[in-house]
Chains A and B, each alone.
Chain A
Amino acid sequence: MAPTSEAAVDLVEADVWLVGFREGRREVMEDCYREHFGTVDAAVSRVLHGADRETVVQDVFARLMSDSQLRLAFKGGHLRAWLGTLSRNLAIDFARHRRFEQPDGLMPAGDGVHSPHVIEHQAEVRMLVERFRKERLPPRWAPVFEARFVRQMDQVTAARHVGISRTTLAYQEYRIRGLLRSFALRGSRP
C-alpha cells in the first residue's frame, strides 16, 4: 500500500533528522540533549550517583557531539532505547573503573526503580537543613528560610506568607544564602 502524503512527510523529516544527527549538527545535538537528557540521566542513575553520575551523563553527550563513529552506529529507529543502552553501558564501565560494586542487572524496563541512595541523599539534605537551623541561622530570619529554601515558595508568595515586603524578604534571603553557602561548603563563618 502506498504511504499517505502525511506519512511520507514524516519519513522525509526523519531522514533529515538522521542526517543531521550523523553529521553532529549543533541544533540537532541541542534537540537531542533537551529531549533525551532524562533518558540518559535515568539510565546512569541506576548505576551511579553523585559526581560520578553527572560525569557519565555529560560524557554520553560529549561523545555524541565529538565522536562521528558513535553517531554513525545509530542506524535509525528508537533513539531513546539506543541512548538508554549506551548510557547504561558507559555507567557500568565507569563503575568498574572506579571498582564500585557491580549493580544487579535485573532492573525492570519502563517504570522507575527504587533508588535508595537518592533517599539517603535527601536525608543528608535534611540533616544539613536541621544543622544550619540550629547552628547558624539567626532566629529572626527563620520564617524566610522556611518559605524560600525549605518550602521553595516564589518571592511574592513567600513575602505574603511571612508578612513582610518583598524588598525585606529579598535582603534576608540574600543574607541567608551567604550563610548557607558558607556553612554547607566550608563549614566556616563567611
Chain B
Amino acid sequence: MTARPRRCERSKLVDLHFEGRIAPHAERQLRLHLDRCEACRGHYHRWLLLAEIDSRVPSRTERLAIGLGLRAPSQQTRAPALGLALAAAVAGVGVVLVWGHAPARALRLLEPAIPAPSSEAEFAVYSVGRDGAQSSLLHAEAEIAPNQSLGFAYAKAAGTRNLMIFGVDERRRVVWYRPAGAESSESTPLLPITHGELLHELSEAFTQTLDEGTLRFFAVFTNREDLRVSEIETAVATAPSELTLGLPGCQVRSVRLNVKASLQ
C-alpha cells in the first residue's frame, strides 16, 4: 500500500457506487468505463477488498440495486464527521452517537426460524508442505499423493455456526476430516465457525491414507445443530450420479482432486 495507485479522473464514479450514492445513468457510465479503464478497475478492486472489512460499505445486493434504480441512493453526507468531532470534544459526557448513514440491509429476506447459512461461504483445500515448505492452494482437479497432508480454510461464513468437512472417493467411501474420523459419532459436536467474514484457516494439518482415484472434498456450512454424520453418509449413499448432496438448511461447497499413488 506504499505505492500510490494510478488515478483516473472518473474514479469518482467508483467511489459513488461503493458509497451507495450513484444515480442509474452514472452507474451505466461507470460500467462502460470499467470495461476499458484499468486504473478504475484497480480502484474498484481495492473497494471490493475494503468492503470485506468495513461493514459500512453497502452490500453488493444494495449497491447493484441502487445502480439499477431499484433502491434510492443513500443520503450520506459529511455530517457524521462533525458529530464525531463534537463527540471527541465531549468524550466522557456519555453522548450516544447515531450515524448519518446507517447500513441499510432492507433488501435481505426475512430470516426463517433457523437462519440460513451464508450463501457466499467458500472453502479451500491446501497441500501442507513438509519440512517448512510452503503450503499451496489446491485447485479443482489438482493431483495429490495418497498421504499428502492437507489443510482447510473457509471464508465469508459470517452468520453460519457449524462446518463439516469430508471427502468422498470413487467408491463413495466417506473420509472424515471434521468431525475427525475417530470422533464421528452421532453425539460429536460440529466444528464451530469463527465469527467474521475474513479468511480463516483451520489450525491443524490432516493426513489420511487415501485410495487412488478421484476424491471429492465437501464442506457443509449449516446453522442446524441436529446435523449428524449419519445424515451426511446417507445423503452421499443416495445422491445421484453427479454426487449432488441434498441437505436441507445447508450450503455445500466441493472441490474434486485426483489421488495418484505415483506422487508418493
Contacts and interface: CB of A to CB of B under 8 A. Distances in A.
A-B interaction:
yes
Interface of A: 29-30, 33-35, 37-38, 41-42, 50-51, 54-55, 57-59, 61-62, 65, 98, 108-116, 118-126, 128-129, 131-132, 135-136, 148-153, 165-168, 170-171, 174, 177, 180-181, 183-188
A119 B87 contact: no
Contacts of B93: 167
Contacts of A132: 1
B43 interface: yes
Contacts of B5: 186-187
Nearest to A135: B1
Contacts of B92: 165, 167-168
A122 B156 contact: yes
Given A111-B252, A168-B92, A177-B56, 7 more contacts: A50-B45, A51-B45, A57-B60, A152-B158, A153-B195, A177-B54, A180-B54
Contact of B124 (A35, A119, A128, A180): A119
Contact of B137 (A37, A116, A187): A116
Contacts of A129: 53, 198
B213 to A, nearest CB: 17
B67 interface: yes
Given A152-B196, A167-B95, A185-B43, A111 B84 contact: no
B113 interface: no
Contacts of A113: 140, 253-255
A165 to B, nearest CB: 7
A137 to B, nearest CB: 12
20 contacts: A34-B107, A34-B109, A59-B31, A61-B64, A112-B252, A112-B253, A119-B123, A125-B52, A128-B49, A135-B1, A136-B1, A152-B158, A152-B196, A167-B92, A167-B94, A171-B88, A184-B49, A185-B43, A187-B3, A188-B4
Contacts of B31: 55, 58-59
